[in-house]
């Protein structure tokens, strides 16, 4: 990050200074690193004392003072030591957003905001891969897409960056509004409107309303890039002040694809059509939904002045994030479709689509999908029914509401279905049913930590 003085941080956040040393000496002190992890602090760090679900950052301020940290941003009064400074604010997260907005304003480069119900992280990575063929791009790492992750991403900006691609997540109204006020994107991309987080937003209409908060701080001469195949997003035609650019497979508007062909479980071939011309490409990850991700990246690339050759190269050099539809060929003769990072009904069905094209016995190990509220039982049942519809050979349902998934699968005619209360039960009684040559999909919501099951399968002899 670019250096900021403590005085600059005070002006941006409105913090009250608590210092042992003289104030003038403190104000000129330089900050070159911002973190919420006390293990990372140095003498040039600003430590963020964030109250989390499991840990309270205020408990680690003493450790930071002992390490000689430059300053701590805190909502509790703790007397500083070793020449450190305490910056007192009513709410650390809100102060962090103010500071990130101040830092963002140091950069006169295009900012691209990305959100969506399903696949926004893969979309963000694909966009960054495409834009990276022409520009020096900063983009969100992993899922740093909330009111802590977005500021920390922005603090990684340096003078050499020419573009910033920022993912924005949410599960309640107002969250993307707050992030968009900080990022102020010139281009906003919504990958789709599904049912993720419907527990808190009540309906798909509510989900779209929350996602569209990204446009609250976009200029009227900005660009909204939208999925033309999504039944909710298509209704935004003529309703936004920004210029609209569409991508899709079914609806052939601005950027679209045809001649889709799955190349086993590893790649997807298609032809991409744009106002500049067309090109054939092979996406190094399977699934029609990945074609939509590639098309969205092309739509953004067009707005950013990339050539067809640069966009094709960006797609074909794409590397997926760990645990997001990674195809793993094991020494024990099995193939894992590792998609454990997260799950919702739409992404579950998309992953089952890919599994259905596998060679050998098709095995799905599926777990609980969170944040579906009153819709959860029905949606788990629907996923089970979809597994039967796609002729999955063997289905393991694990965790909460797995009984509903089993019911849907059996009602759909799937014969080999097994239920387990937790992963440990599956490891004890289900792993032995796997065989050499199996193609195995492993997928559940993040809370299930299904990467542990992937590790167990890797160890099957």
Q: How far apart are CA 61 and CA 51, in angstroms?
A: 12
CATH number of 4-89, picked from 1.10.150.50, 3.40.1390.10, 3.60.21.10, 3.40.30.10: 3.40.1390.10
* CATH class (in words) of the domain with range 107-316: alpha beta
- CATH superfamily, region 326-458: Mur ligase, C-terminal domain (3.90.190.20)
Give the chain's largest Cα–Cα span.
76
pLDDT of amino acid 357: 86
| Measured distance CA(247)–CA(257) in Å, rounded | 9
Domain boundaries, the chain: 4-89, 107-316, 326-458
* Closest residue by Cα to residue 282 from 253, 250, 314, 307: 314
Mean pLDDT by 10 residues, the chain (461 residues): 96 92 80 96 96 92 96 95 94 98 98 90 94 97 91 97 96 94 98 83 90 95 97 95 96 95 87 98 89 97 98 94 80 91 90 90 96 93 96 96 97 96 96 95 94 91 64
Residues 6+ positions from 394 with CB-CB distance below 8 Å: 361, 362, 363, 364, 416, 418, 433, 438
Per DSSP, helices labelled H in 223-322 are 288-303, 308-316
* pLDDT for 327: 87
């Amino acid at each position: 990050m670019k250096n900021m003085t403590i005085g600059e941080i005070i002006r941006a956040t409105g913090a009250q200074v608590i210092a042992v040393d003289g104030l003038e000496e403190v104000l000129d002190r330089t900050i070159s690193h911002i973190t919420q992890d006390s293990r990372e602090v140095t003498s040039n760090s600003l430590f963020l004392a964030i109250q989390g679900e499991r840990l309270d950052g205020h408990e680690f301020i003493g450790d930071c003072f002992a390490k000689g940290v430059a300053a701590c941003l805190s909502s509790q009064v703790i007397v500083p030591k070793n020449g450190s400074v305490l910056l007192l604010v009513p709410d650390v997260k809100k102060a962090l957003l103010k500071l990130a907005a101040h830092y963002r304003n140091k950069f006169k480069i295009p900012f691209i905001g990305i959100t969506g119900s399903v696949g926004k992280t893969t979309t963000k990575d694909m966009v960054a891969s495409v834009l990276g063929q022409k520009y020096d791009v900063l983009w969100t790492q992993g899922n740093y897409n909330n009111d802590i992750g977005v500021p920390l991403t922005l603090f990684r900006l340096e003078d050499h960056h020419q573009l910033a691609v920022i993912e924005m997540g949410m599960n309640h109204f107002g969250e993307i509004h707050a992030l968009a006020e900080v990022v102020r994107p010139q281009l906003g991309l919504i990958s789709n409107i599904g049912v993720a987080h419907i527990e808190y937003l009540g309906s798909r209409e509510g989900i779209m309303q929350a996602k569209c908060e990204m446009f609250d701080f976009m200029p009227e001469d900005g660009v909204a890039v939208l999925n033309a195949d999504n039944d909710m997003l298509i209704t935004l035609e003529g309703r936004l002040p920004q210029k609209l650019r569409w991508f899709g497979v079914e609806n052939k508007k601005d950027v679209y694809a045809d001649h889709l062909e799955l190349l086993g479980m590893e790649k997807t071939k298609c032809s991409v059509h744009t106002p500049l011309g067309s090109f054939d490409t092979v996406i190094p990850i399977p699934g029609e939904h990945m074609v939509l991700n590639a098309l969205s990246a092309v739509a953004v690339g067009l707005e950013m002045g990339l050539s067809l050759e640069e966009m094709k190269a960006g797609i074909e050099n794409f590397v997926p994030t760990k645990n997001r539809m990674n195809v793993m060929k094991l020494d024990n003769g099995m193939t894992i479709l590792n998609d454990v990072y997260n799950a919702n009904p739409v992404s579950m069905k998309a992953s089952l689509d890919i599994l259905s094209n596998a060679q050998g016995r098709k095995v799905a190990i599926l777990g609980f999908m969170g944040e579906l509220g009153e819709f959860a039982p029905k949606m788990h049942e629907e996923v089970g029914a979809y597994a039967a519809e796609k002729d999955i050979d063997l289905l393991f349902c694990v965790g909460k509401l797995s009984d509903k998934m089993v019911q849907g699968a059996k009602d759909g005619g799937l014969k080999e279905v097994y239920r387990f209360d937790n992963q440990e039960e599956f490891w004890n009684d289900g792993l032995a049913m796997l065989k050499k040559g199996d193609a195995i999909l492993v997928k559940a919501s993040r809370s299930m930590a299904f990467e542990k099951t992937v590790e167990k399968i890797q160890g099957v002899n």
